[in-house]
Each structure stands twice: as C-alpha cells, then as structure tokens.
Amino acid sequence: MREGEPGFECICDGILKNTPFVLDCMMQKIRARRWWFLKHGGTVMKETGEMGTTSDQDFYDKEPVGSLVAHANWMREIEFYFDAYAARLDNALIGTSGNAAELGAGSCGLSVCLSRLPSVKQVVALDISMVRMKRMIELSASVLDGNSKKITPIASDFNGRLPFADGELDVIVFDAALHHAQSMWRTLSECRRVLKKGGLLIAQREAYLSPYRAKWQINKLLRSPEVAANVSENIYLKEQYIYYLTVQGFDVEFMPRSKSSIKNILSLFNGTLYSDGVLYSRKK
Ligand SMILES: C[S@@+](CC[C@H](N)C(=O)[O-])C[C@H]1O[C@@H](n2cnc3c(N)ncnc32)[C@H](O)[C@@H]1O
C-alpha cells in the first residue's frame, strides 16, 4: 500500500479519529507485508487444478511459529475449548479401540490434548503441511504436557480420500480447520466413511458468521493474508455447520464456550447474536 492509495488515506484519517481502527489497519499492513516477504523469499505459489491444495500447503509451510509466549497462549486457548468436552469424550471412548485423528492438526495442540485422555490409545495428526507439524509438535507437547508417543503425524489432504479404512476411527477432531475444507460435503462424507457407527466428530474454534455482522466479517476475510495467498478460507453460520453434519448422518450438538469476556456477558445470545463454541457430533 502506497501514499495516494485509498488505504493509505484511510490510515491517516483513522489516526485522528479512531485508534482501534488504526491499529486494525496497521495489523492488516503488517500481515500483508509478511505474506509478500514469505512469497518472494521462497517458492512461488503454484496453482493446482486437482484436489491437492498447493497454495494452502505453501502458506502453512511458511507460517512462522511466533514467540514462545504467543505459542503457549495459543495452546492454552486450544486446551480451553478442549476442556469443554474432555471428560465427556474420555467416557464415550471407554470400551472402544481409542483410535483418534486430528484433521488439519498444524501445531498438533489438540492432538496433544487428546493424547492425555486415558481412553485415547493413538492419535493420527493429519495435515497438509508436514513442515508445520514437525516445527511445532514438540513445543506444543511440552506446553500442554501430553504424550507425544501416542501421536503419529502424517501429511495428507482432507479434501481428498482420507488415509483410513472404513470404520477405522472412534473420533475425529478439528481445531480451527474444518472451514478450510473445499467441499464440506466431500470432507464430511469421508469423515463419515472412516468413523465407526457411533463415532464422534468434534470441531472446535471455528469462526462463525453472525447473521448480524456477516457483511463486515466477509469483508474482513476478503482482506486477510490467507485469502491474498489463495488459501481455501470459508466462514459459515453455525446453522450451516449443523446442516452439513446432519446431511452426512450426524447428530449434532452445539456446546457454547467462549474466552471473550464480552461474549460471556452476552452468553444468553451465544448461538443467535454470535456463535462461539464446540460442535460435538455423533455418527448415527
Ligand atoms: C488455521 S490452521 C488451524 C490451527 C491448527 N489446529 C493448529 O493448531 O495449528 C489450519 C490448519 O489446517 C491445515 N490444512 C488446511 N487445509 C488442509 C487440507 N486440505 N488438508 C489437511 N490440512 C489442511 C493447515 O495446514 C493448518 O495447519
């Protein structure tokens, strides 16, 4: 962004009028520049017409880890959502083979949380970016004090056929990853195939559209570095997630949960005015 361009003027005006807005603009600039640096410092992004999502992989291969404090805070957030259903999941898995998979595992933070449950015997951490998982898994395991011996990272694309046999898994989890599916129908029908009857599919930390702020949220997404980098970003209403899961044969429950104090004050409206929580679903 240069002097004379509309965004530049908006920043200058904003400094005088509205500090939070200015900070937001500055963060957008920093993120956009970081993406430019990553793109021009390494492999040039490739387009792919097939199910492989090269630009998604490229982006996540190069996303920096961040500071130790930032990583620890991020892991605590993953754990916060996990704590909403950890005991319930552990109970539900008693008597099963305890086969779990995290799809879009990235930092493997949620895989590490799963590895702490006695009834989880093994976790496959699947991500399109093996680089990202290798970079972060040990750090995540040390912050969350999990059992990384239970975790097997594998590189795979959840837009295609999942590398599991029919009915092999007892639980599939997603942490801020399901919305990256290029087709919810395809990804969720694969999840259905590889889950046992009664198996669980849990999605936490999805960003939800609010019916009242959808235009603003979508415009924000359009300005994101992910969209600039051609990453498969989507954002859905809570009702749309429930719809996609229901048509694929899941019983779905939305468990409200939020770290935000404002959202917690407005907790009565979680699920209507805004949505924050966990999708806990069971294959019928
Ligand atoms: C926003 S991050 C989610 C956070 C992630 N749970 C973590 O802790 O790093 C999205 C993750 O999904 C992965 N991902 C995106 N598209 C994917 C795909 N088609 N198949 C597998 N993983 C994918 C990315 O590589 C990234 O690690």
How many angstroms from the chain centroid is the CA of residue 51? 19
Q: Is the pLDDT of residue 27 over 60?
A: no
CA 7 to chain centre: 29
Mean pLDDT (the chain, rounded): 85
Distance of CA 189 to the CA centre of its chain: 19
Whole-angstrom CA distances from 43 to 31, 38, 221, 229 are 18, 9, 24, 13
Cβ atoms within 10 A of the Cβ of 163, count?
A: 15
Comparing 50 with 272, the larger pLDDT belongs to 272
One-letter identity of residue 83: D
Across residues 43-60, what is the average pLDDT? Answer: 55
pLDDT in tens, 124-155: 999 999 999 999 999 999 999 999 899 999 99
Task: Give phi and psi for 150, each to the nearest 5.
Answer: -80, -10
Q: Which of 60, 82, 230 to mutate to test the pocket of ligand 1 (most atoms within 8 A of CB)?
A: 60
Q: If pLDDT is split at 50, 70 and 90, which confidence band does 64 have?
A: confident
Ligand 1 neighbour 164 (Cβ under 6 A):
no
- The pLDDT of residue 31 is 38
CB environment 236-257: b (16+ within 10 A), e (fewer) = bebeebbebbeebebebebbbb
Give the whole-angstrom CA distance, residue 57 versus residue 139: 21
Query: In CATH terms, is domain 65-208+227-283 a member of 3.40.50.150?
Result: yes
Query: What are the start-end ranges of the E strands in the chain?
Result: 99-103, 122-127, 151-155, 169-175, 195-204, 208-209, 236-237, 250-256, 277-283
Q: What is the pLDDT of residues 199-253, one digit of tens each?
A: 999 999 999 999 999 999 999 999 999 999 999 999 999 999 999 999 999 999 9
* C-alpha distances in Å from residue 276, one per residue of 55, 69, 85, 218, 251: 28, 24, 14, 17, 19
Ligand 1 atom at shortest distance from the alpha carbon of 133: 27
189 burial class (0-12, 13-18, 19+ CB within 10 angstroms)? middle
Question: Mutation test of ligand 1: which of 129, 131, 139, 184 has the most ligand atoms closer than 8 Å to its C-beta?
Answer: 129
- Decide which of 50 and 101 is more confident: 101
Tell me, using a 6 A CB cutoff, whether residue 128 lines ligand 1.
yes
Of 56, 62, 130, the one to substitute when testing ligand 1's pocket (max ligand atoms within 8 A of C-beta) is 56
Task: Locate the DSSP E strands across 180-276.
Answer: 195-204, 208-209, 236-237, 250-256
Domain ranges in the chain are: 65-208+227-283
The Cα 139–Cα 280 span in angstroms is 27
Query: Which pLDDT value is given to residue 54?
Result: 72
pTM of the shown model:
0.83
CA distance 283 to 198: 5
